[in-house]
Structure 1
């Protein structure tokens, strides 16, 4: 937990799930810079929130919590960000019911008077969301974005310019920058170009030639990432009524491969991204018959899966949390997988060789074998004894 001090007040903030040993804060200099700008930082005119305030991409709820008195609408692709916001509102004495918590899959507000944008890592997600919000923006809407300098590129500014209106940036402060955008009602309001679909290459086993649906913001949305491609060549050959989880499913290609290889399997697709789970469901439904059994869960890893109920977990874990490199997410996934697996159940993991997942798996499961490897990736198997 950490304390954010602003002119709006002091706020105790934590990521989700809260972990006192987590060295990563629930806010950064970009969040601070935006909040100071609202109060008239560096001699500028204050921006008084009024009307409908929309906060897009708030990473851990810092902006929404600081502005809770103005009843903002938060729009996020992250289940973890949404739950962090709920917790941070409660932690700071605010009523979570006073804030509208929307996912990027929900219909956006019909009118937005103040739009605050935390620039996401994914340019595609920013493009998609600006398209979705543009009809709600009017000539009087104040639009302010924020991000660290390394997150804001010329392509970022061009998106604001093309979809919303004339755009300029601020000076950098503590390696953070603001984006000021003036809505131009004369700009044509065009639909988002997302989702994007492509056919899988011939060397991907049971899913070769299948069409994959990718909503904006998911990892490697425009092509099959090489780690997944390697994983698809080395998935376990199983038959019978297995309960399988595609953990951190992304567009669902791995879970689809498991379902096609074993029609008796019941596959659950899990991700903390609303866009990812929507992609996985579209991919699965487009490539299987109506009798195919599957579940699609947006959540925090395996927390929504009953203990000792799963036969096989397939996982290509992320090793970034926004811009931070961390193995915390992978460790949480591995622990969750062990809890949810039955005795004799297996966790199969693909990862970059240098990440050393075999060490963590041996510590958590007591065993780990290398199924396949090349100079960049390894496929590992751990069994619950």
Structure 2
């Protein structure tokens, strides 16, 4: 796996986060290189303020921090943590970190954007840029050419302004825009909907996974959640909007909850939803984190987990494995891990390897999903 990004007689050593000895994926892609080359060819003068949206692991932030003031806005705790590590290891200048829920700074000279996967998140960011920027500020965005559709460009034109594209280079394309659309179209950050079969509704910020409807995995898991006597502490690992915790809180009225996700928007959505459904008297803690890094051993009675099988745009199973390992460490003796996943992912074998064959059982299954219980 290549770790050295060399361009314009300069080299950065970049790693993904969390750093793994067996890593097979790069911490940057050709889109990062395309934008770096384009901005360098512009001859941009030093000490400008560059806003970088959705930097994956800090390749752009590290590169441009050498000569410019950089503000990185990202909804990803993983991306921000990886960027901090790469800035430190390359002895880069400090940059400012913000989430995509924060207000855009008023003194920006150039915007660079990795186009997010979610159109809701993209539309939110475009609307915010239109409201915050002067029309002469250039916004340069990038994505794989196959993922820049006519509908994508129409979103840029509707919510941001005049837009054109570059030629494709190494399967990536640049999008050039200015914040000059005829009107500012404000976006409500909250999408709210009732949960089918339950007596509560959910708030969803723009980058929350399955933020427009209940995902099929959660739909299958809800009626299979347990009511357990004496349970004290429940962790919702990869909580999303907190739907599982809301229902578990109703079933287990004395339990305290910790909701963990790497998305700042997910954490805020879960916090709002749990307070609304369970009330202000419940002990609720919602945190952005890399799995259960820093959690105390033997501190939870039950952990719920619906693992993602991708990181950024890459398909990977290392997140699920880290979640399972962290859960075993954090569970108390006799504590249980509840996992839902697609049947083909083979989580039963992974859990048996970690907890032991006799400690893993199937709670429920259908033709698409399986719910597994592992006991420490």
On the 8 A contact 1:350/1:378 being kept in 2, the answer is yes
Aligned equivalent of 1:293, options 283, 294, 297: 283
Aligned equivalent of 1:90, options 88, 91, 100: 88
Residue 60 (structure 1) aligned with residue 54 (structure 2): no
Q: Which residue of 2 aligns with 1:192?
A: 187
Q: What is the CA–CA distance in structure 2 between the aligned matches of 1:247 and 1:266, rounded to whole Å?
A: 14
On the 8 A contact 1:110/1:135 being kept in 2, the answer is no
Q: Which residue of 2 aligns with 1:205?
A: none
Q: Which residue of 1 aligns with 2:95?
A: 99
Aligned equivalent of 1:375, options 362, 367, 375: 367
**Which deviates more from structure 2 when the two are superposed, residues 264-273 or residues 157-166?**
157-166
Q: Which residue of 1 aligns with 2:273?
A: 283
On the 8 A contact 1:119/1:151 being kept in 2, the answer is no
Cα offset, 1:133, TM superposition: 2.5
Q: Give me the TM-score of the superposition, normalised by structure 2.
A: 0.96
Q: What is the CA–CA distance in structure 2 between the aligned matches of 1:216 and 1:249, rounded to whole Å?
A: 15
Cα offset, 1:127, TM superposition: 1.0
Cα offset, 1:163, TM superposition: 1.8
On the 8 A contact 2:31/2:144 being kept in 1, the answer is yes
On the 8 A contact 1:39/1:48 being kept in 2, the answer is no
Q: Which residue of 2 aligns with 1:122?
A: 118
Cα offset, 1:37, TM superposition: 0.7
Q: What is the CA–CA distance in structure 1 between the aligned matches of 2:49 and 2:313, rounded to whole Å?
A: 30
Residue 201 (structure 1) aligned with residue 201 (structure 2): no
Distance change (3 Å), C-alpha of 1:50 and 1:127: farther
Q: What is the CA–CA distance in structure 1 between the aligned matches of 2:158 and 2:173, rounded to whole Å?
A: 20
On the 8 A contact 1:57/1:75 being kept in 2, the answer is yes
After the TM superposition, which residues 20-99 of structure 1 pair with which residues of structure 2 at under 5 Å, given as runs?
20-40=21-41, 45-48=42-45, 51-69=48-66, 70-95=68-93, 98-99=94-95
Q: What is the CA–CA distance in structure 2 between the aligned matches of 1:322 and 1:24, rounded to whole Å?
A: 11
Q: Name stretches of at least 5 consecutive residues in structure 1 with no aligned partner.
A: 203-207
C-alpha offsets along residues 295-326 of structure 1, whole Å, 9 cap, x if unaligned?
Answer: 01110111142111010000101011122211
Q: How many residues align?
A: 372
Q: Which residue of 2 aligns with 1:334?
A: 324
On the 8 A contact 2:193/2:212 being kept in 1, the answer is yes
On the 8 A contact 1:268/1:297 being kept in 2, the answer is yes
